[in-house]
């Protein structure tokens, strides 16, 4: 028992203090004391606590810290006292108040010592899981190399993904508890300040649809404006704004009509629909929570891990096995059915033209490729860009702004020669390190690595320079708008999850309280889209490049006898002429052989069988010298989900003031903050009014967004209100402003530091801070620091 107790104590000490190694443990009936050897002139910290204070691994950080003692520190001694000094983690706020705050000094000391690292015990648990992933990954690679049948490969890949997910879940379980995020508190702030809220809320609201209020609208606009400057202006992109309403043939050609679908089940009585993978995940987790049978828990967990790769029959098997019912009514569920995620509609009053609300903005750029190429003087590479709405009829939208039915996208389609995917600006960014989680590392169960984008391209990890360039630009854009870069990674799609149009794909993912979420997809779409639209429309979506040396080509051409064709086929004559002009050499030769053999040939054009005779067509063969070559460009696509970027930014910028958990604020950078500054008269003294107007007018002339708050609340409360809506700077007009020279205070939100500056200079200072041409540290050097706001006189 004593040895078990000592081991438990060591685990506890290591859990709370990763650098602490217990050299001895003294145990009594009620307490444990841990000590370590202390070299000369080094602080020695003994730890003493009761058995009841030992937390379980599932307790929150706050619970652990509540039990965690603050020990005496002894210098120049090697023997530890079993005595321990403990101090309260909380303290009274103001005299007479029952409100308690964290003891900042002690709390920060503990937080600094709670390191992000796995213990040896955790590594012993993780190593077998990593090995299992590696072995299965090697098996999948071997099966593919041996050209095994598709069923065997799919089963192996499903098992691989299940092992990867099990490893990720265990790593998540071992993450330090300070990573826990109070999502409800943040959402309360966002709704209270009307950044966004559920659409049509007075009618009960619609799931997956949100309205942005003044703050959310301004933030989204600022992010989009920064994106436009960072990408469109920097790269001289050609921006377009195309229709949201898309005819069916466009999306048939792109593959969306056939492949853009999820499985769902219905309540057989009331018809309510559920996305089947989300429903089963929820019901299986509920089943696990309600049973103690380890075999049943393991089996249910395995089903959860495999949900992403299940077929229709697999889903039905799970529903039948557990006899799952509708979670809302208890009614029986239908068999899984495929549901296309696009909103269908009819165009025009007759209802004969079927269409869809676009699921992405990209297709609008592809169908305009020919016009864009002409506008660009026929030169490649070039990029088209579009910012606009896209729509997906999610079966069960959830997770706030992350999974919605209507959302803002910002997409780039960079057209490039498929044989030359270099980028002229790549060298300038080649040394930038990116956090990369490759498909191979996922299959081997390895963590992400930080690697320069230059080396990643050189090693073939990232397919080409252009793809690597845009990944790096995305990384720098995230940094620019205030995303926490320690919570960003680029994850490569494995072959079985690659989109139907992509040959390589890396997702820029942000870590949130929902886990890792995809915010930007970077795909090498090759020539898929332009090829499909060319085949569908018979309109060549190609570019030309000059040949180093002229080339002689064999040409086979079908020339129609327009008089005879027109006389016989009338309104179909034009379609026949167009069809013949677009035949390839091999197709023209085949048609000629049929005409010579049978004196006629039947063609299927626009669904009609039309028979041509030999006197209607002349086939010519000749040589042609060409100086240019036609090719279908490849496309590199960065696709930004603005709503997901916004949500990640909300979480990464949400903070609490030290010593006051209720005083929350958003630390958005000035470049994207809805308001750049607030103007705050210290009181309603009429003498302040001219200065308020002067400053507000100056800011308005410089196009600096600002908020004037002349309410009667204390200056501290008004600072807190402006902090909650992410205003980075506050200008305060006080009684010292009335004296010559007229000055005001300028406060910075995150550091709470203040300076005094002349009234006539303050608008220009704020403008420079907002556009990034001036740093707050430079302001602190130029102007006198202000320590305390003067009380009202």
pLDDT surpasses 90 at 465: yes
C-alpha span between 774 and 426 (Å, rounded):
28
Residue 147, phi-psi category: left (phi > 0), alpha (psi -120 to 50), beta (remainder): left
Q: Which residue has the tokens 């209720």?
A: 662
587-611, pLDDT tens digit by residue?
888 888 888 888 888 888 877 788 8
pLDDT surpasses 60 at 91: no
What is the domain partition of the chain in residue ranges? Answer: 2-113, 120-179, 183-255+343-529, 261-340, 543-631, 675-786
C-alpha span between 702 and 700 (Å, rounded):
5
- What CATH class has 261-340? alpha beta
pLDDT surpasses 50 at 104: no
Cβ atoms 769, 783 nearer than 8 A: no
- Alpha-carbon torsion 678, 684, 688, 694, what sign? positive
pLDDT surpasses 60 at 36: no
674-724, pLDDT tens digit by residue?
999 999 999 989 999 999 999 999 999 999 999 999 998 899 999 999 999
Confidence class for position 50, pLDDT limits 50, 70, 90: low
The answer to whether domain 675-786 has CATH 3.10.20.600 is no
Task: List the single range of 241-250, 271-280, 521-530, 588-597 with lowest mean pLDDT.
Answer: 588-597
pLDDT surpasses 90 at 154: no
- Is residue 741 within a helix (H) or strand (E), and if so which, with residue range? none
Task: List the single range of 63-67, 119-123, 532-536, 670-674 with lowest mean pLDDT.
Answer: 63-67
pLDDT of residue 501: 66
Q: What is the CATH number of domain 543-631?
A: 3.30.720.200
Average pLDDT of the chain to the nearest whole number: 82
Confidence class for position 555, pLDDT limits 50, 70, 90: confident
**Cα–Cα distance list, 346 to 87, 359, 389, 536 (Å):** 70, 16, 19, 21
pLDDT of residue 119: 64
DSSP state of 401: G
Q: Could you tell me which residue, 428 or 659, shows the higher pLDDT?
A: 428
Confidence class for position 629, pLDDT limits 50, 70, 90: confident
Confidence class for position 211, pLDDT limits 50, 70, 90: very high
pLDDT of residue 598: 83
171-192, pLDDT tens digit by residue?
777 765 555 788 899 999 999 9
pLDDT surpasses 70 at 99: no
Confidence class for position 471, pLDDT limits 50, 70, 90: very high
DSSP state of 712: S
Q: Could you tell me which residue, 663 or 95, shows the higher pLDDT?
A: 663
What angle, 0 to 180 degrees and rounded to 10, lies between the N-to-C axes of helices 294-305 and 276-289?
160
Find the mean pLDDT for residues 767-773.
94
pLDDT of residue 554: 83
CATH superfamily of 183-255+343-529: Bira Bifunctional Protein; Domain 2 (3.30.930.10)
**Cα–Cα distance list, 519 to 272, 507, 522, 640 (Å):** 30, 7, 10, 6
Q: Which residue has the tokens 């167009």?
A: 578
pLDDT of residue 359: 93
pLDDT of residue 80: 31
Rounded to a whole number, what is the distance in angstroms from the first to the last CA of the chain? 70
Find the mean pLDDT for residues 135-159.
79
């Amino acid at each position: 028992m004593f040895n078990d107790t000592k081991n438990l104590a060591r685990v506890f000490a290591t859990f709370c203090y990763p650098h602490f190694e217990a050299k001895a443990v003294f145990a009594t009936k009620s307490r444990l004391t841990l000590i370590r050897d202390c070299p000369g002139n080094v602080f020695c910290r003994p730890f003493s606590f009761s058995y009841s204070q030992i937390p379980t691994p599932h307790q929150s950080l706050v619970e652990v810290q509540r039990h965690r003692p603050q020990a005496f520190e002894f210098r120049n001694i090697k023997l530890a006292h079993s005595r321990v000094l403990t101090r309260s983690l909380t303290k009274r706020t103001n005299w007479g108040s029952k409100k308690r705050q964290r003891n900042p000094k002690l709390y920060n000391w503990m937080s600094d010592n709670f390191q992000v690292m796995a213990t040896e015990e955790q590594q012993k648990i993780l190593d077998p899981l990593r090995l299992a992933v590696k072995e299965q990954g090697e098996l999948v690679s071997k099966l593919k190399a041996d050209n095994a049948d598709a069923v065997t490969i799919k089963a192996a890949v499903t098992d691989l993904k299940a092992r990867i997910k099990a490893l990720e879940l265990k790593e998540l379980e071992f993450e330090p508890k300070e990573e826990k995020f109070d999502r409800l508190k943040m959402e309360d702030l966002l709704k209270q300040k009307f950044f966004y809220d559920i659409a049509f809320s007075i009618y009960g609201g619609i799931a997956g649809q949100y309205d942005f209020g003044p703050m959310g609208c301004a933030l989204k606009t600022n992010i989009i404006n920064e994106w436009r400057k960072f990408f469109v202006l920097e790269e001289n992109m050609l921006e377009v704004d195309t229709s949201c309403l898309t005819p069916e043939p466009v999306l048939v050609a792109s593959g969306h009509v056939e492949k853009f679908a999820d499985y769902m089940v219905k309540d057989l009585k009331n018809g309510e629909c559920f996305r089947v993978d989300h429903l089963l995940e929820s019901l299986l987790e509920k089943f696990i929570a309600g049973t103690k049978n380890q075999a049943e828990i393991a089996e249910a967990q395995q089903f959860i891990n495999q949900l992403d790769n299940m077929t229709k029959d697999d889903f039905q098997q799970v529903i039948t096995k557990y006899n799952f019912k509708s979670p809302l009514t208890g009614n029986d569920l239908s068999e899984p059915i495929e549901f296309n995620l696009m909103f269908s509609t009819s165009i025009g009053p007759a209802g004969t033209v079927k269409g869809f609300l676009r699921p992405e903005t990209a297709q609008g750029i592809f169908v305009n490729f020919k016009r864009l190429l002409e506008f660009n003087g026929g030169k490649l590479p070039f990029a088209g860009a579009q910012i606009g709405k896209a729509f997906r009829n999610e079966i069960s939208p959830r997770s706030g702004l992350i999974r919605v039915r209507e959302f803002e996208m910002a997409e780039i389609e960079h057209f490039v020669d498929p044989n030359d995917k270099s980028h002229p600006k790549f060298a300038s960014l080649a040394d930038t390190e990116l956090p990369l989680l490759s498909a191979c590392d996922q299959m081997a169960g390895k963590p992400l690595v930080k690697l320069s984008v230059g080396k990643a391209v050189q090693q073939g990890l990232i397919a080409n320079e252009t793809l690597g360039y845009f990944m790096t630009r995305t990384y720098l854009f995230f940094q620019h708008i205030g995303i926490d870069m320690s919570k960003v990674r680029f994850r490569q799609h494995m072959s079985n999850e690659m989109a139907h149009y992509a040959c390589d794909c890396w997702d820029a993912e942000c870590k949130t309280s929902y886990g890792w979420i995809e915010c930007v997809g970077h795909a090498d779409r090759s020539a898929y889209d332009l090829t499909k639209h060319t085949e569908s429309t018979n309109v060549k979506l190609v570019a030309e490049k000059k040949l180093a040396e002229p080339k002689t080509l064999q040409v086979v051409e079908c020339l129609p006898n327009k008089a005879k064709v027109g006389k016989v086929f009338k309104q179909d004559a034009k379609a026949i002429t167009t069809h013949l002009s677009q035949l390839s050499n091999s197709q023209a030769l085949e048609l000629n052989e049929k005409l010579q053999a049978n004196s006629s040939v039947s063609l299927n054009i626009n669904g009609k069988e039309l028979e041509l005779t030999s006197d209607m067509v002349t086939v010519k063969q000749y040589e042609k010298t060409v100086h240019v070559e036609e090719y279908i460009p490849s496309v590199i696509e960065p696709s930004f989900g603005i709503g997901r970027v916004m949500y990640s930014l909300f979480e990464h910028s949400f903070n609490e003031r030290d010593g006051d958990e209720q005083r929350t604020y958003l630390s958005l950078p000035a470049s994207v903050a809805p308001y750049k500054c607030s103007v705050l008269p210290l009181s309603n003294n009429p003498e302040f009014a001219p200065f308020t107007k002067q400053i507000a007018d100056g800011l308005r002339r410089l196009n600096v967004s600002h908020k004037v708050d002349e309410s009667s609340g204390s200056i501290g409360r008004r600072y807190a209100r402006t902090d909650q809506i992410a205003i980075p700077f506050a200008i305060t007009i006080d009684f010292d402003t009335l004296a010559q020279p007229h000055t005001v205070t300028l406060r910075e939100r995150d550091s709470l530091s203040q300076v005094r500056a002349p009234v006539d200079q303050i608008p220009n200072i704020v403008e420079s801070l907002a556009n990034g041409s001036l740093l707050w540290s430079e302001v602190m050097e130029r102007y006198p620091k202000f320590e305390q706001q003067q009380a009202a006189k």
